[in-house]
Structure 1
Amino acid sequence: MSVAVHDPTPPPTPYGRGWPVRYGPQNNHLRLTHADRDAVAHLLKEAYAEGRLDTDEFEERLEAAMGAKVHGDLEPLLSDLIPEGTPVHSPPAAQQPSSPPSSSERVTALIGHYSGYFVSALGPLAVLLINGNSSAFVRRHVVEALNFQLTFIVGSMVLWFFSWLVLPLVAWGFMLLGWMFLPMVAGLVAVFGGRWKYPFTWRPIKEDQGEPGRP
């Protein structure tokens, strides 16, 4: 004859971080947040996956959870799934929008783009080595400028190797026009705090390598 052993330890909660949401009479009147509803929806999905809820029960409870207004509305949905008072942690909040880049960051990004006019890839590379790890905004623009300059250098070498053909020479002419005007546009985009991707660019340098600061 088997004897059931009661384990007083509450089951682990699905999330280790987040805002604690406790269910109990003292909090039944509190209004719910979207994160609270998402946490309960996650518990219901886990219970359904484990077979503790059938399809009809799961759909009914999930619909009720999404329409709940206060904590008291959720208590009947969880009372037979988790012990009363067990903290339910909501999923990690979505990353908040980053603050706008500062004026110094915009100027540095502008220099990264325009420096290619004077020393080709060495300009963006120098800015990247000096300031690339201080701001994600600066790194994003400077890495893009560096990749563009590398693309122009490598593309020019390849096309000039076949310069005895007419088509490669025409293609290099378009590349030269892009080299003349695209960094100018990219610099203006950086000044206004926007993002920029050079067209037809080879990207051997990745912007997410050691990228601190703003996302």
Structure 2
Amino acid sequence: MDTSGDLRVSDAEREPVIQRLQDAYAEGRLDEDEFDMRVQLAITARTRRDLGAVTQDLVPAPARLVAWDGGSPTGGPPTGEDRMLAAAAHAVAVPTLFVGPLVLMLLSGKRSEYVRRQAAEAVNFQLTLLLVTIVTLGIGGVVYAVAWVLAAVAAVFALTGQTFRYPWILRLVK
């Protein structure tokens, strides 16, 4: 008797389901009311069976959407080269602001989803800092000292193959 459907789900198990619902909504497979209802069902799901029922009638997600844990598009872990390029995307942002990570995202992001996501995160962080500096007429530039520390932390995360998300930023680039 298979009881795996009766196991309780965690937030980490809900996230890819909600992402799949967002993709299905963007693809036009769900209307707004049904999307809202299914997201609510996913958020309140208690068991794997409850969670599975939310996306049961949707086309399976492509492999690149399933790799939500930061792995390669095939679902495997990022390669050493991917980790180095992702770390470089965070580190090069210190002297170049958003330009360096943007170049890495456009060049290396085509072959590695992991590098693309980490470079996009660095671009978003730098754009947010730039906007804060402009809006505060330069006073926000003091925040750049904190940016160097966060960029170093993000680079270490990327080197270990983990996904890093900067807190409190505008995510303008996906």
Q: 2:124 aligns with which of 147, 159, 162?
A: 147
Consecutive unaligned residues in structure 2, runs of 5 or more:
6-58, 70-74
Equivalent residue number for residue 99 of structure 1: 76
Q: 2:107 aligns with which of 130, 144, 157?
A: 130
The alignment-based identity, stated in percent, is 31
Residue 182 of structure 1: how far off its partner (Å): 0.4
Q: Which amino acid aligns with 1:187?
A: A
Residue 172 of structure 1: how far off its partner (Å): 4.7
Residue 136 of structure 1: how far off its partner (Å): 0.9
- TM-score, reference length from structure 1: 0.46
Q: Deviations over 1:69-119 (max 9, x none)?
A: xxxxxxxxxxxxxxxxxxxxxx96995872111000000001111111121
State the alpha-carbon separation in 1 of the partners of residues 82 and 161 from structure 2: 9
Does 1 or 2 have the higher relative contact order (CA < 8 Å, sep 6+)?
A: 1
> In 2 relative to 1, CA 92–114 (structure 1 residues): closer, same or farther, beyond 3 Å?
closer
Structure 2 counterpart SS, 1:204? coil
State the alpha-carbon separation in 2 of the partners of residues 202 and 141 from structure 1: 15
Equivalent residue number for residue 193 of structure 1: 161
Runs of 4+ in 1 over 4 A off after TM superposition: 91-97
Question: Hey, which of these two has a bigger chunk of helix by percent?
Answer: 2
Residue 158 of structure 1: how far off its partner (Å): 0.7
> In 2 relative to 1, CA 151–110 (structure 1 residues): closer, same or farther, beyond 3 Å?
same
Equivalent pairs, count: 113
Consecutive unaligned residues in structure 1, runs of 5 or more:
1-30, 36-90, 162-168, 207-215
State the alpha-carbon separation in 2 of the partners of residues 197 and 204 from structure 1: 13
